Structure 1
Amino acid sequence: MVQHAAQMREKPHGTLEVDVAIIGAGPAGLTAGYLLSKQGKTVAIIEKDPTYVGGISRTVEHEGYRFDIGGHRFFSKSAAVVDLWNEILPDDFIQRPRMSRIYYEGKFYSYPLRAFEALGNLGVLRSTACMLSYLRYKLFPIRDVKSFEDWTTNQFGHKLYSIFFKTYTEKVWGMPCDEMSADWAAQRIKGLSLWNAVTDGLKRSLGLNRKPNDGQEVKTLLETFRYPRLGPGMMWDAARDKIVASGKGTVLMGHALDRLAADGEGWRMSANGPDGRVEIRADHVISSAPMRELSRRLHPLPQSTLQANELKYRDFLTVALMVKSEDLFPDNWIYIHDDRVQVGRVQNFRSWSPEMVPDEDMACVGLEYFCFEGDGLWSSSDEDLVAQATREMEILGLCDPARVVSGAVVRQEKAYPVYDDTYEANVDAMRRELDEKHPSLHLVGRNGMHRYNNQDHAMMTAMLTVENILAGERLYDTWCVNEDAEYHEAGDEGAEKAIPTREVTADQAAALNSVRDVPGRIREDEAASDDERKVA
């Protein structure tokens, strides 16, 4: 589908001329397009998906059922982001209860873990083994801590690590826990203490503490969240429609970037679409395309292309099953800590919004598989993946396969930017070269900046970029991100208010600080040999 606005200026040879060209119609690209068109700037957005806008935040529809790709709660500490959500989608938010649990050996455990519940579910013998393992590593910890496994074992004991951390973590990131850097564990799990959880449980049993923190030295997680009634794609469909309705914007679906070249006065961009090649001329370009892909299409090739080519990604697919059942479980999603199956997480779309499932007698669940593009899972046929998902739901005891009516598969490439040993230097090389040579080319969003961030962070990078373009100078550094931030879902929505200044404000930083960490591998020169490592 190609949508044009009447005010776009076309030169005689068919080139579309706009103020700003935008690559990618995800949260960052559409936020930029919406804000620029509001200010009277003409924009052209290219999106390689032929059907959906929203990127990883899109909502896919199949026979009336709607699937959220990964689950997207609408929460931000930034008042500016919350206000923008309300402006774009004023009447379609619903408030939903938040519930997620861990599945292990046929039993459910609260997430975050509650010590007494977890130990009770494990039984006397295994609980005793867990506590002895915990005490053993508190008394005799691994001294040369290098890996995720080392750090987590020291914190919880090897038994609890193997039950509640190892299987799921390795499914998500596709590497053994003993090869992941300990730094990531220290940042990701820094607020959780088994000892605090146990003492907290004792206090509650004695009536001394009615507000448990589950051993976490952070604020209580959100108990409810806002969500568009037809899924997150509803937000981005509305943003696209408003851009086009403004008369200042055009959205070209099914158009993939072919070439981007500076012409001395601005940019010339070509994209291949269903009706052939489209040429666009713009003063500025905003790119949310993967940095690796952008570097290959810039002309002339940047000196940093070799570094950008080394950037890596983790991919993702969802198998949605339509099941003859009123509902299967109350959770928004369940983390699967079970090595008998490959599925890592199971979404329950009715728990996100009842309107996602059109039939009250049917349930719709999404099984999430983490993979690399081209591996066995990714390359499997849709039919085989639906059969595998059905089989794994039976193994887990979550669904009778005879009740599965149909299924659908959604693949999401480059879902997670990988933070390996060289990524930071590779990103920095391209960033510095573009800053020096091409200040009118702006990188935004998760893949555009190669940062594993949240939806509101992607939006804020676009919002700051728009401010820079409108001002004609760099007022804000969109790379100012604190990676060691407070857990994203603690605190109050929109609590941080904007303070007018040329520096990044507290409000903007609140969204920027939502970036999430991902594990990197231990560097080979630091990895300990097997005989140097302590094992359980």
Structure 2
Amino acid sequence: MVNGSGASAHDGQDIDVDVAIIGAGPAGLTAGYLLTKRGLSVAIIEQDPRYVGGISRTVEHEGYRFDIGGHRFFSKSQAVVDLWNEILPDDFIQRPRMSRIYYEGKFYSYPLRAFEALFNLGVIRSGLCMASYVKAKAFPKKTVRSFEDWTINQFGQKLYSIFFKTYTEKVWGMPCDTMSADWAAQRIKGLSLGAAVLDGFKRSLGLNKKPNDGMQTKTLLETFRYPRLGPGMMWEAARDKITAAGGTILMGHAMKQLAADGQGGWRLSATRADGGESVIRARHAISSAPMRELASRLHPLPKTSIEASDLKYRDFLTVALKIRSEDLFPDNWIYIHDSKVKVGRIQNFRSWSPEMVPDESVACVGLEYFCFEGDDLWAASDEDLVALATREMEILGLARPDQVIGGVVVRQEKAYPVYDDAYAANVAAMRAELESTHPTLHMVGRNGMHRYNNQDHAMMTAMLTVENIVAQARVYDIWCVNEDAEYHEAGSEGDAAGLPETRAPHIAPPHGTPSADQAAALASLRAVPTPIKPAKAA
């Protein structure tokens, strides 16, 4: 149980449960909630001493609430939508969707509306963009290995350099030609410049009055649901339901070791800030911890710990500024493609929910800086970061320094799993070993699977894992979640009813040549028989 301060009644004691869960983010809390509904006992450890929700938490400072990264509640899975409604039935609001790109003093719709973009760029630059696009379509790169290759093939060199290269390298801190093409395929697949330009001309002639969103056969959501006090409201409600059902949540507990007990079960030890330790014994273990951290804390140490140690993550920090102004811009957020500033994205918290900003005369914005833990930005003092954010708002023409009346900094470790050339082979090797040697260990969520999943995808991996635990068999292959790699804000909410179809285990071919051990791991994985199809519910 959790008391009001976030401490646990079980601190320093041994706990015996059916399932131990590492991490109280969307995946961990979804698993905990569904397991307790099915009558199983759970214990969850969470490193943060105060907040649940992981990167989907909502931080509060002086009555102002900050969303860490921006989380629209939209899913094509009706099962996920139903679960959101079940956990938080009365606190969703409907919000308009708007996000734009800022480049050289002008705003561009996101996703790109090609006709608008070409108009804003001017005749000469637009002509160069179109010529570059035609060239890319006529003579595409035959070998597509990197983000750069994929995006140039899709949009041409010129538009790639304007709208993708600067921002992407700012976010990831690495050259685009070293990033896996998987990233582009997952996040911007379905956007078509050619279709958008044709649609733009039709609109100019009055032949098409539908939104020009640059999508081929897909519609982009124009509104989304959002908890009125931020996404943390959802996960605080899930936490409360878990504890009310008898589950245990240990706040301020970091994983020390996850040891196999030799009988198919687990012993999870966790340390507190005061140096104390709690021990959880369980038949199953669910981990949403970063794969790299899990591998280093497993006992016995997995053979693929070397591959796991090569997995990389990108961190970021949010500088939330209170600005004396009723509002600054209507967007939920703005992508900053301008190289004159370090900020990558700016959130407008009132546009997410008016209730997150208690003073109607004050705007509250969050400037997001992408960095690596320990670099100059990460190590800068909060005072220096607030000053930097204030200067950059002035450079961008969005606010004057004399309007800023306060600020606070929130740091987020391991926000994004990095898709470099080696990540797919390293993930495949670790997955193959752990699935074959530890059938009662389950990896879920964004960092748990080293996969850039959205919140609803993370939840679905937990939902399928719960079904596998209850069935005592790997009925569902959770790695099929989000495998189609399509644009994640297209289509209609709840398009997919029920749980997804089970498919045979599959890992995307790694980019680059895997080592002999990695190749053997992949071969072993592909040899696993097709899982049993789940029985239909009565």
TM-score normalised per structure 2:
0.88
Cα offset, 1:187, TM superposition: 5.7
- Percent same amino acid among aligned pairs? 76
Matched, 1:251 2:244: no
Q: Does 1:223 align with 2:222?
A: yes
- For residues 277 and 98 of structure 1, do their structure 2 counterparts lie closer, same or farther at Cα, with a shift above 3 Å needed? same
- CA offset at residue 387 of structure 1? 0.9
Aligned counterpart in structure 2 of residue 262 of structure 1, from 260, 285, 293: 260
* Aligned counterpart, 2:102: 103
Q: Which residue of 2 aligns with 1:288?
A: 288
Distance (whole Å) between structure 2 residues aligned to residue 112 and residue 189 of structure 1: 9
Say whether the 8 Å CA contact 2:147–2:176 is kept in structure 1: yes
Paired residues in the alignment total: 508
What residue is the counterpart of 1:348 in the other structure?
348
Kept in 1, the 8 Å contact 2:189–2:485? The answer is: no
With 91-100 and 373-382 compared, the bigger mean Cα shift is at 373-382
Shift of the alpha carbon at 1:175? Answer: 1.5
- Contact kept, 8 Å, 2:316 with 2:371, in 1: the verdict is yes
Asked if the contact 2:328–2:363 (Cα under 8 Å) also holds between the matched residues in 1, the reply is yes
Tell me how far apart the structure 2 counterparts of residues 186 and 270 of structure 1 sit (CA, whole Å): 39
Question: CA 1:30–1:149 in structure 2 vs 1: closer, same or farther (change >3 Å)?
Answer: closer
CA distance in 1, matches of 2:117, 2:10: 64
Unpaired runs of at least 5, structure 1? 525-536
Q: Which residue of 1 aligns with 2:434?
A: 434
Check 1:218–1:368 CA distance in 2 against 1; reply closer, same or farther (3 A cut): farther
Looking at structure 2, the residues matched to 312 and 234 of structure 1 have their Cα atoms a distance apart, in angstroms, of 30
Counterpart Cα distance in 2 of 1:172 and 1:118:
22
Measured in 2, the distance between the counterparts of 1:110 and 1:183 equals 24
- What are the Cα deviations for residues 68-112 of structure 1, in whole angstroms up to 9, with x where unaligned? 011001111111111111111000000000001111111111112
Per-residue CA distance 1:221-250 (angstroms, 9 max, x = gap): 10000000000000000000111111x211
Contact 2:185 2:485 in 1 (8 A): no
Name the counterpart of 2:447.
447
Q: How does 1:117-128 map to 2 (within 5 A)?
A: 117-128=116-127
C-alpha distance in 2, partners of 1:183/1:462? 23
Deviation at 1:378, TM superposition (A): 1.2
CA deviations over 1:21-74 (Å, ceiling 9, x no partner): 111000011011111112222111110001100001000111111110110011
**CA shift for structure 1 position 372:** 1.2
How far does residue 485 in structure 1 lie from its aligned partner after superposition? Answer: 3.1
Q: Is the 8 A contact 1:3 1:244 kept in 2?
A: no
- Verify: 1:396 aligned to 2:431, yes or no: no
Q: One-letter code of the match for 1:94?
A: I
1:155 offset after TM fit, Å? 4.1
Distance between the aligned counterparts of 1:302 and 1:149, measured in 2? 34
2:203 paired residue number: 204
State the distance in 2 between where 1:183 and 1:71 align.
22
CA offsets, 1:360-409, max 9 Å, x none? 00000011111111111111111111111111111000111111111111
Residue 49 of structure 1: aligned partner:
48
| 1: CA distance, partners of 2:448 / 2:120 | 44
The reply on whether 1:130 has 2:129 as its aligned counterpart is yes
Q: For residues 183 and 473 of structure 1, what CA distance do their matches in structure 2 show?
A: 30
Pairs within 5 Å for 1:54-453: 54-135=53-134, 147-182=146-181, 184-185=183-184, 188-246=187-245, 248-265=246-263, 266-274=265-273, 276-453=276-453
Partner letter of residue 219 of structure 1? Answer: K
User: Using the alignment, how far apart are the partners of 1:10 and 1:390 within structure 2?
Assistant: 45
- Indicate how the Cα distance of structure 1 residues 287 and 374 shifts in structure 2: closer, same or farther if over 3 A, else same: same
Report the secondary structure of 1:402's partner residue.
helix
Partner residue of 1:505? Answer: 501
> 1-side partners of 2:100 and 2:17: how far apart?
48
Do the aligned partners of residues 268 and 460 (structure 1) sit closer, same or farther apart at CA in structure 2, a change above 3 Å counting? same
Structure 2 counterpart of 1:176, one-letter code: P
Amino acid paired to 2:192: S
Rounded to whole Å, the distance in 1 between the matches of 2:413 and 2:383 is 19
What is the SS of the residue equivalent to 1:268? strand
2:445–2:458 Cα contact (<8 Å) kept: yes
- What's the TM-score once normalised by structure 1's chain length? 0.88
C-alpha distance in 2 between matches for 1:91 and 1:235:
11
Q: CA deviation at 1:258?
A: 0.8
Q: Contact 1:171 / 1:344 at 8 angstroms: preserved in 2?
A: yes
The CA deviation at 1:523 is 8.3
Query: How do 1:465-504 residues align onto structure 2 when only pairs under 5 Å count?
Result: 465-498=465-498, 504=500
Structure 1 residue 139 displacement after superposition: 5.9
Q: Give the corresponding residue for 1:531.
A: none
Answer yes or no: is the 8 Å Cα contact 1:3–1:250 preserved in 2: no
Paired residue type of 1:483: E
Partners in 1 of 2:260 and 2:232 — Cα distance? 33
2:95–2:223 Cα contact (<8 Å) kept: yes
**2: distance between equivalents of 1:522 and 1:209?**
44
Residues 201/256 of structure 1: CA separation in 2 closer, same or farther (3 Å cut): same
- Deviation string, structure 1 residues 140-173 (Cα, Å, up to 9, x no partner): 6667765544544454343322221221111112
Q: Would the aligned equivalents of 2:190 and 2:486 in 1 still touch at CA under 8 Å?
A: no
- With over 3 angstroms needed to count, the CA separation of the structure-2 counterparts of 1:284 and 1:9, relative to structure 1, is farther
Gap regions ≥5 residues in structure 2 = 515-538
Residue of structure 1 in register with 2:28 after alignment: 29
For residues 86 and 136 of structure 1, do their structure 2 counterparts lie closer, same or farther at Cα, with a shift above 3 Å needed?
closer
- Tell me: CA distance 1:263–1:128, structure 2 relative to 1, closer, same or farther (3 Å): closer
Q: CA separation in 2, counterparts of 1:131 and 1:98?
A: 29
